[in-house]
Amino acid sequence: MEFLGYFLALLVGVSLGLIGSGGSILTLPILVYLMGVDPILATAYSLFVVGITALVGGINNALQGQVHFKSVVIFGLPSIVAVYLTRAYLLPFIPETIFQWNHFTFSKSMALMILFAVVMILASVAMIKPCKNCNESENSTLKYNYPMILLEGLIVGVLTGLVGAGGGFLIIPALVLLARMPMKLAVGTSLFIIAIKSLLGFLGDLQTSYTLINWRLLLYFTLLSAIGIFIGMLLAKKIKGNRLKTAFGWFVLIMGTYILIKELIM
């Protein structure tokens, strides 16, 4: 099972390179179910894996002019602050058991996963729906609504702080729909934002989890994931932006629907 886990680490990178998201969605179940990592510790592992992999991909995209650094600052900074404040102050105030009815218990973890799934589904619908005003030209002038981008960064930060995901499935729709950014440019920009948020989050976890970390496993997994992101970026070059946007939307819709069904029915 551990060998299969290392093989699937490639898919984490492919996902990030191809659609700019899905890293944490894939990393956590692989680490927990195939590598035998404790779920809480796996969250810290995921931050490192996704952060380093996204950084490698982000640098490569930047060298090709596929990163809009102004967007990284405008969107990334409020998002990072919101993630920190949410995890430090908001999450502790949510009770472990929100309510009970007969044998049914609505827990904090269930509420967060349902929120996670709903947000994914809403984002996927926005991505699948044709956007007539979205300009695919890389040389076009971006139409920014800076207040909305700033607000969206805060909202994404709160949501990603609550559900613990990298947030690419939220960042990319915001960049494409609010800034009219071409999909491939949005993917490269998203990778930088994800890298910054994830690595800063890992540094925070490192203070309490350093002695528990299996560095051999973590570094091998990250190396394979970093290799995978180059495969994903090669595939992305062969796919048109509109198709990439639609494929991304369907991927998120399937994952969100599965999580929602799992939490409510299974």
Q: Can you give the pLDDT at residue 223? A: 96
Residue 116: partners with Cβ closer than 8 Å, 6 or more residues away: 162, 163, 165, 256, 259
Host domain of residue 222: 2-264
What's the rounded Cα separation, in Å, for the pair 153 and 174?
9
What's the rounded Cα separation, in Å, for the pair 249 and 266?
24
The predicted-structure confidence for 63-75, as pLDDT tens digits, reads as follows 989 899 988 988 8
Number of compact structural domains in the chain:
1
Of the candidates 42, 38, 53, the residue with the CA atom closest to the CA atom of residue 199: 53
With a cut of 50, which residues of the chain have pLDDT below it? 137
Q: Can you give the pLDDT at residue 59? A: 93
Do 1 and 27 contact (CB within 8 A), yes or no?
A: no
Q: Can you give the pLDDT at residue 266? A: 66
As a whole-number percent, the residues of the chain with pLDDT over 70 amount to: 91
